[in-house]
Structure 1
Amino acid sequence: MSRHGKVRLAKWFESFTQSEKQRIVRDMMNLVLLRDLSWSNSVDYVDAPAGQRVTALGSSDAKSSSQDATRFHTLAQREDRLVYRRYAALYIILCIDGTSLATGQTNELLALDMIHLLVESLDRYFGNVCELDLIFNFPNVYYIVDDLFMAGEFQESSREVVLRSIHASDSMAGQERDDKHKS
């Protein structure tokens, strides 16, 4: 997200409707952008909407066989935590699920480290990453994000492994980076 509240990149690991996504982005903008720079990089996000849950309801009755797979979603409210870090004109924000916080599976320091690893990887790949790199090279940025995170979980902790992976992908696709972006 930029300093002006424009979303430059979004990766969702739960299913939300478009209106729920807009609400979440608006809430994040209000929580993060209005905070003083001297405050902590972690803020509670209360009343975060839960993602859609798809459930199959089965019945042995032949009359209701057409209703075997019924979709419904719950909008149960929960308490998540936003962990963010500002780099120049951009805010990188991660939302940590409240249940993983309650069980002690995730902490804010690891989230800050993941944000920093993402920015370091982007910086090494693009040379000197800026907001325009995120806008015009978004497929490569998503590729790096997908290498670091899988299904909302941190997967890769080595910047070199991520960079080798995307460079191999670039060479297989026949894409050559110009000398400006090689570092």
Structure 2
Amino acid sequence: MIRCFLVINNFGKPRLMKFYERLSNEERQRVIESAYGLVSKRLEDLCNFVEDDSLFGGETQLIYRHFATLYFIVICDKAESELGILDLIQVYVETLDKSFENVCELDIIFNQQKAGLILDQMVTGGLVLETNSQEIVSKYKELERNMKQQERELKSPVASSPRTF
């Protein structure tokens, strides 16, 4: 099970956080700082898997990818496939890239809701649901169309008959 999905910039600022376990704000902050501390010190030629008992306990692992100015970090159980999680990160980045056309850190900062909804289509409750990038983009576009339709319906004046009391 995935415990959290983090996107952190090169300076340690979290840009997107999804926790799938109930943690206090202090515990979340500790996890973010610890995760960033672990991945930022690693050399580029080392593997992308880190085991750290202090984050969630002895049965967790940290899997990450570094793209441009962002670290994409997943903390999960050791039962999860490392290569599967790396693929999940890759698909998420590809999906963001398709949605934003050459995604960058600013896209995630100014479109938190969209980045979060895309991740929610991929991972729900710590379980991976979808890894097909095209399917995720089409579902998001459908959701976007539905939201715009609802906005139009709310904004349009409804012909109402006069009420009599």
TM-score tier, shorter chain, comes to 0.7 to 0.9
Deviation at 1:48, TM superposition (A): 2.2
Quote the RMSD (CA, aligned, Å).
1.3
Letter in 2 for 1:143: L
Q: Sequence identity, in percent? A: 33
> For 2:32 and 2:131, how far apart are their aligned partners in 1?
27
* Alignment partner, residue 19 of structure 2: 12
Q: After superposition, where does 1:14-33 map in structure 2 within 5 Å?
A: 14-33=21-40
Q: After superposition, where does 1:24-173 map in structure 2 within 5 Å?
A: 24-49=31-56, 77-97=57-77, 101=78, 105-173=79-147
Deviation at 1:96, TM superposition (A): 1.3
Gaps of 5+ in 1: 50-76, 176-183
Deviation at 1:9, TM superposition (A): 0.2
4+ residue segments displaced more than 4 Å: none
CA contact (8 A) 1:13 1:151 kept: yes
CA contact (8 A) 1:148 1:157 kept: yes
Deviations 1:144-164 (A, max 9, x none): 000000111110021111101
Higher relative contact order (CA 8 A, sep 6+): 2
Aligned length: 142
Gaps of 5+ in 2: 1-7, 150-165
Q: TM-score, normalised by structure 1?
A: 0.74
Deviations 1:97-133 (A, max 9, x none): 2xxx2xxx42111010000000000000111101011
Greater percentage in helix: 2
> For 1:28 and 1:157, how far apart are their aligned partners in 2?
24
* Alignment partner, residue 5 of structure 2: none
Deviations 1:33-66 (A, max 9, x none): 11111111111121224xxxxxxxxxxxxxxxxx
> SS state of the match for residue 54, structure 2?
strand
